[in-house]
């Protein structure tokens, strides 16, 4: 894909993978817009990069998604790349039913509802632009789940499936559909410090841009690459190793 002179919107772009991708798009002379729930984090990004445009938006809310799409297309008519990056991961013990449904539902709304809805909202606009793309950020856990975060894994598996279908349906349109498949990355996805074992976020983002420049539409790295290409027997082995199963 073309990596310069685009207008790019990154959801969840104030921290973690979203910020790493947004900053690299900015370095390549793109107009960059980021949205997120936390105004203070967006303000921190704008202090570092005054050229980045920001918008407070909770993508879990369908009304806010619609307002975001309206605002962005009215203010950035050349918007041609949507990066569905926003995501939330929380541990939950399903056997104890310890989590309120509103909390569980918010994970589904952010991780799955939002990227599907935003792709629908922006599809017609993006299709009229040149060099357009929809980029969905899934996970290596799309292919083999970590049982302690079952809802996160399920939503990412569903988003992987949706991305494959979207790419097929868009095969004759001008929209390129790209999937980014991270391994565990050292970000604050679940809580500060919990992903220190993960790969460096800048290392991962650099790899993503190398792959984008090469024209690849499914981009995985490290353990996520191994999972995305594994056979069923290999996936079973990864699952047992990852979850400490004796079966």
Q: Which are the catalytic amino acids?
A: 152
**How far is the CA of 155 from the CAs of 40, 130, 222, in angstroms?**
27, 30, 21
- Do 117 and 74 touch, CB atoms closer than 8 A? no
DSSP for 97-152 reads T-S-HHHHHHHHIIIIIHHHHHHHHHHHHHHTSSS-EEEEE--GGGTS--TTSHHH
**How far is the CA of 67 from the CAs of 45, 99, 199, in angstroms?**
22, 30, 35
Residue 98 in tokens = 């310890």
Distance between CA 156 and CA 111 in Å, rounded? 7
């Amino acid at each position: 894909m073309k990596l310069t002179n685009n207008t790019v919107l990154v959801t969840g772009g104030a921290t973690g993978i979203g910020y790493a991708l947004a900053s690299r798009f900015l370095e390549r002379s793109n107009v960059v817009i980021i949205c997120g729930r936390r105004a203070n984090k967006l303000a921190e990004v704008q202090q570092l990069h005054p050229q980045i445009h920001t918008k407070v938006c909770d993508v879990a809310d369908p009304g806010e998604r619609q307002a975001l799409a309206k605002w962005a297309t009215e203010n950035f008519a050349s918007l041609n790349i949507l990066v569905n990056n926003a995501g939330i991961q929380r541990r939950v013990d399903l056997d104890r039913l310890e989590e309120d449904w509103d909390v569980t539902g918010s994970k589904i709304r952010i991780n799955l509802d939002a990227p599907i809805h935003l792709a629908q909202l922006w599809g017609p606009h993006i299709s009229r632009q040149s060099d357009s793309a929809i980029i969905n950020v899934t996970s290596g856990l799309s292919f083999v789940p970590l049982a302690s975060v079952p809802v996160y894994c399920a939503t990412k598996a569903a988003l992987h499936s949706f991305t494959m279908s979207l790419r097929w349906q868009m095969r004759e349109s001008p929209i390129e559909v790209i999937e980014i498949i991270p391994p565990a990355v050292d970000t604050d996805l679940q809580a500060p410090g919990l992903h220190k074992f993960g790969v460096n976020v800048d290392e991962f983002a650099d790899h993503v841009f190398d792959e984008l420049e090469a024209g690849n539409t499914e981009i995985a790295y490290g353990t996520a690459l191994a999972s995305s290409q594994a056979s069923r027997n290999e996936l079973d082995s990864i699952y047992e190793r990852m979850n400490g199963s004796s079966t």
